[in-house]
Amino acid sequence: MSLIIEMLQESCRRNAGKTALRCKLAGRWVEYSYQHIWDTSDQIASGLAQWGLEAGERVALLAPSSPTWVMVYLGILKSNAVAVTIDKDLKQGELRHILADSEARLLFTEQTYLEIVNDLAEGLPDLEKVVLLQRPPGSENKISPQIEKALAALVNEWRRLSRKYKLDHVDAENFENLAEGFRELVMPSMAKPGEGKKNFFVNLLRSHNEESPPFDPEALDDFQKYLPPPYLQRQPHDTAVILYTSGTTGRSKGAMLSHSNIASNVRTAIDLFALEPSMHTLSFLPINHVFEQVAGIILPLTVGGTVSFAESLRKLGENLAEVRPNFLLGVPAVFRLLLDRMTRKIEGQLLSRSLFAFSPTRPLVTKKVREAFGGNPVFISGGAALDPVVAAKLMEMGLNVYQGYGITETSPVLAAESPGMKRLGTVGKPIPGVKVKIHRPNSEGVGEIWAKGPNIMLGYFNNQEATREVLTDGWYHTGDLGCLSEDGYLSICGRLKNLIVTANGKNVYPEEVENEMLNSPFIAEIMVYGHKIDQTSEEVYAMVYPSQDALDAYAEEQGRSLDLHEIESLIRRELLERGKNLADYKRIKRFTLREDEFPKTTTRKIKRFVVEADIDAEL
């Protein structure tokens, strides 16, 4: 079985009555069984087939994470179509690019995005229909498409007759009374309070004279069809999803992932971590992203586990305490935040602080930490390199954190730590079936990471040139710099495009410097970059977004507010102090402060191309 739907069908059959998905609505957790998500996705697939969607055509999905999102996603795959999952936080121009480039014929979305989509309609010739995941407010009185069509015909005939015969007042009123009688039969609740027969008909005429929006959306409940779903026609090597890279370096490209790409990654992860139906995860990462989509949704559903959706990042701590997941996906920024919160909690209580300070009594504290996360949780960090210091401190807290490495184009995992195969500072070994090599390594063994295996994308949609640039005889050029140890552990050094070459010919990896600086409580975010001093060499510069909480606490200790000069001096001292842990040539020479957070991708990585463009403009 290599189709995603075939994998999930077996799981839904075995676990029909078990809870598959959970979300919090109106303050309580609502559960959806495996049988429910299977039946509902069948009805969505039938709706797509009845509408006229052909195998291989693209259907876009733009909405926040929810059980409905998952059921629509499965319905798209069951209809033999290709799912184009879109980041809900994209700006209008980025959204236009993806909808146009993917040639999506239909869009599933929410009322929130409808106005934007209507504004973009003129530049989206392929988009024919919009379906809303929730019924819009007041739509309980909305006229069905069939009645709407009949009324339109009635109105058009009225116009024709009135023009042709120049009807007098009596004839016109008789016709309006007939129309009102028809309305009362088919939609008695449509007239507003106090609206007479004539007013209703006049309003109906007016509504057909007004310019209607480009897309008249249909509610998902109405779109679903209670018919057998279409027969599965797709093959394992066919495209299942198109995922547009969030892009730290420029305009996004649509990576085509096949059913077998994703299925191979899912099966390997199940074996690596010996996952079982008791698996319960809390989903809070962007569901449009490959990491959450594959490892956070498809993976647990394949083994018969349960996925609970967090209400928001702000409520993550509260939801963690309620759900107590035994499996959690996160990105380094989240694990750093988690560590900071746990550290503050332990340090803030005299007994906990005392017990944790001594090795013999530390297990009394770490046991409670583990219990708060369901007993013996498995944490998986991906999306960017996890600072070894953060990983070590989390392990000291009694939490098992495994680091993985992969990207959208690799479905996503290329390498990962796993039970019995952990080494701090690495991302583990390449997963079974995947080959990794270092292309053109330097004297330190560092070069671009190339990968080959069943999880490598088919290519970029409608972009053969970009595909040729990154694929050579099946080897995918990741654009990441790394090295392999003699026993096969992979270490990530940074992005090839971010590499800084100093005047002495030394290589500096910005990510390494950033991780060291982020150990300062006064630095919330930092971007290290190369500032050109001549045609061939650069100096290490940085932009820093200070931690307002840490600055406020420091100001309170000093008994006065801080001015800009004092903040700059404080950050300079921190950079110098942290820089002592780095070689001289890696230390930051100059820095500037930011007043607000850096622009980021959905996986919380800084969009360097945006920031660097601002730097160039300033220069």
pLDDT in tens, 22-78: 999 989 999 999 999 999 999 999 999 999 999 999 999 999 999 999 999 999 999
- The most confident of the ranges 149-163, 354-368, 411-425, 494-508 is 411-425
Q: Average of pLDDT values for 185-209?
A: 50
Q: What is the per-residue pLDDT across 472-496, written as a single tens digit (0 to 9) for each?
A: 999 999 999 999 999 999 999 888 8
Give 104-150 as a DSSP string.
-SEEEE-HHHHHHHHHHGGG-TT--EEEESSPPTTGGGPPPHHHHHH
Q: What is the per-residue pLDDT across 527-558, written as a single tens digit (0 to 9) for each?
A: 999 998 877 678 999 999 999 999 999 999 99
> If pLDDT is split at 50, 70 and 90, which confidence band does 197 have?
very low
Which helix (H) or strand (E) segment holds residue 380: the answer is strand 378-381
Q: Tell me which of 222-226, 267-271, 313-317 is least confident.
A: 313-317
Q: Is residue 506 located within the same domain as residue 554?
A: yes
What count of residues does the chain have?
Answer: 619
Q: Is residue 343 located within the same domain as residue 471?
A: yes
Report the CATH number at residue 547. 3.30.300.30
> If pLDDT is split at 50, 70 and 90, which confidence band does 169 have?
low
* pLDDT above 80 for 159: no
* pLDDT above 70 for 179: no
Q: What is the per-residue pLDDT across 272-308, written as a single tens digit (0 to 9) for each?
A: 999 999 999 999 999 999 999 999 999 999 999 999 9
Q: Is residue 131 located within the same domain as residue 153?
A: no
**Residue 375, amino acid:** G
Exposed/middle/buried for residue 210 (C-beta within 10 Å: 0-12, 13-18, 19+) = exposed
pLDDT score, position 193? 46
Tell me how far apart the 2 most distant CA atoms of the chain are, in Å.
Answer: 100
Q: Is residue 522 located within the same domain as residue 607?
A: yes
162 vs 393: which has the higher pLDDT: 393
Q: Is residue 200 located within the same domain as residue 111?
A: no
Q: Is residue 464 part of a domain?
A: yes
Which of residues 449, 471, 489 is at a domain's end?
Answer: 489
Q: What is the per-residue pLDDT across 311-356, written as a single tens digit (0 to 9) for each?
A: 998 898 899 889 999 999 998 888 888 898 889 889 888 889 899 9
Q: Is residue 248 part of a domain?
A: no
Which of residues 440, 470, 489 is at a domain's end?
Answer: 489
Q: Give whole-number Cα distances, 589 to 5, 521, 565, 585, 614, in Å.
A: 54, 20, 18, 9, 20
CB 106 within 8 A of CB 179: no
Q: Is residue 111 located within the same domain as residue 149?
A: no
Q: Is residue 227 part of a domain?
A: yes
Q: Tell me which of 5-14, 114-123, 517-526, 605-614 is least confident.
A: 605-614
pLDDT score, position 345? 87
Q: Is residue 68 part of a domain?
A: yes
* pLDDT above 90 for 160: no
* Domain of residue 224, residue span: 28-136+217-231
Q: Average of pLDDT values for 252-266?
A: 96
Number of H helices and E strands in the chain, helices first, is: 22, 27
Q: Is residue 440 located within the same domain as residue 523?
A: no
Name the pTM for this structure. Answer: 0.79
Q: Is residue 106 located within the same domain as residue 128?
A: yes
**Nearest one of 114, 128, 112, 117 to 58, comparing CA atoms:** 128
Q: Is residue 55 part of a domain?
A: yes
Q: What is the per-residue pLDDT across 83-132, written as a single tens digit (0 to 9) for each?
A: 999 999 888 888 999 999 999 999 999 999 999 999 999 999 999 999 99
Q: Is residue 283 part of a domain?
A: no
Q: Is residue 349 located within the same domain as residue 474?
A: yes
Q: Is residue 554 located within the same domain as residue 423?
A: no
Q: Is residue 340 located within the same domain as residue 443?
A: yes
Neighbours of 98 (CB within 10 A): 20
Q: Is residue 65 part of a domain?
A: yes
Number of domains making up the chain: 4
Residue by residue, what is the 3-state secondary structure of 26-68?
Answer: CCEEEEEEHHHHHHHHHHHHHHHHHHCCCCCCEEEEECCCCHH
Q: Average of pLDDT values for 172-176?
A: 64
Q: Which two tokens stand for residue 25?
A: 């609505």
Supply the DSSP symbol for 152: H
Q: Average of pLDDT values for 564-575?
A: 95
- Helix 34-51, helix 67-78: angle, nearest 10: 50
Q: How does the average pLDDT of the chain come out, rounded? A: 87
**Nearest one of 490, 409, 418 to 452, comparing CA atoms:** 409
Report the CATH number at residue 43. 3.40.50.980
pLDDT score, position 506? 80
Q: Is residue 253 part of a domain?
A: no
Report the CATH number at residue 433. 3.40.50.12780
Which residues in 328-363 are b (16+ Cβ under 10 Å) and which e? bbbbbbbbbebbeebeeebeeeeebeebbeeeeeee
Q: Is residue 518 located within the same domain as residue 431?
A: no
pLDDT score, position 398? 86
Which of residues 150, 179, 209 is at a domain's end?
Answer: 209
> If pLDDT is split at 50, 70 and 90, which confidence band does 149 have?
low
pLDDT score, position 512? 87
Backbone angles phi, psi at 109, to 5 degrees: -155, -170
Q: Average of pLDDT values for 501-508?
A: 79
